[in-house]
Amino acid sequence: MILKKIYAWSIHLFTALGAVLGVLAIIYSIQAAQANILDNSINYSYYLKLSLYCVIIAIIIDAVDGTLARTVDIKKLAPFDGALLDNIIDFTTYSIVPCIWIYVSGIVSENWLIPSIILITISSAYQFCQPNAKTDDNFFVGFPSYWNIIVMLMLCFQTNQVINQAIILILSIFSFIPIKYIYLSRLDNISKSKVVKFITLTYSIIASSITVIAVYLFPEKTPDEFLFIIITFIIFYIIFSFKLNIKPIK
């Protein structure tokens, strides 16, 4: 029993590492901004890349900590609000840090800088406080605040400011529209077919791997071939999610 309690509390500690990584991501972003002011492009890219890496590791922790928690009766063994901790960390790493990246990097125009930050923070605050943000059958309701991934891709693929601004506006609006989106780490209810689940999982792993490679290559622009794969995955994700809204699995 003691070992089980230690294991349960270690899972909460593992989750809490995401908070440390979130703070480090903010610190490195500030250092990148300072380097940018001094017109030191090498240090700017170095510190911004460190910030991106911190968030990638935080995403990995977020993807696996829930699975670890479900291996034991964690609420009984470690009476601690892990869900609240998870939400606090996610709001930081999925929404606040990307806003800082936008402010530091110039991926939107100066006129759109503050409006973009307002759109992301307000829409994310709404999403994170929705009681039905995640359904019982493991779907997100409304755009699921993947702002860290979105902004990361904007940085790595060096997309046009106008395109970036349009994406931020559209996704912010869709945060308030109650459409179900696939929860990529919980694919049980997307299809009865194991093949469909396998393809979806494989496609998401490929897209995730390309995102990591894109960060590794930063500040060099990611090859267009990788951009094509990411775009097709996003299209697949949106179409499949919308299809499940129209014709859910019974």
Q: Highest mean pLDDT range out of 5-14, 45-54, 72-81, 219-228? A: 45-54
pLDDT at 177: 92
Contacts of 197 (CB under 8 A, 6+ apart): 187, 188, 190, 191
Residue 237's CB is within 10 A of a number of other CB atoms, namely 18
The Cα 137–Cα 132 span in angstroms is 11
Contacts of 199 (CB under 8 A, 6+ apart): none
β-sheet bridge partners, residue 91: none
Sign of CA dihedral 164, 127, 148, 95: positive
The Cα 180–Cα 224 span in angstroms is 30
Residue 172's CB is within 10 A of a number of other CB atoms, namely 22
Which tens digit of pLDDT belongs to each residue from 35-61? 999 999 999 999 999 999 999 999 999
Q: How confident is the model at residue 138 (pLDDT cuts 50, 70, 90)?
A: confident
Token pair in block for residue 242: 């919308």
Q: Which uninterrupted H or E stretch holds 140?
A: strand 139-141
Residue 140's CB is within 10 A of a number of other CB atoms, namely 22
User: Mean pLDDT across the stretch 204-214?
Assistant: 94
Q: How confident is the model at residue 159 (pLDDT cuts 50, 70, 90)?
A: very high
The Cα 23–Cα 51 span in angstroms is 9
Residue linked to tokens 């039905």: 132
Sign of CA dihedral 231, 235, 240, 245: positive
pLDDT at 250: 58
Q: How confident is the model at residue 196 (pLDDT cuts 50, 70, 90)?
A: confident
The Cα 225–Cα 213 span in angstroms is 12
Average pLDDT of every residue of the chain: 91
Enter the pTM of the model.
Answer: 0.90
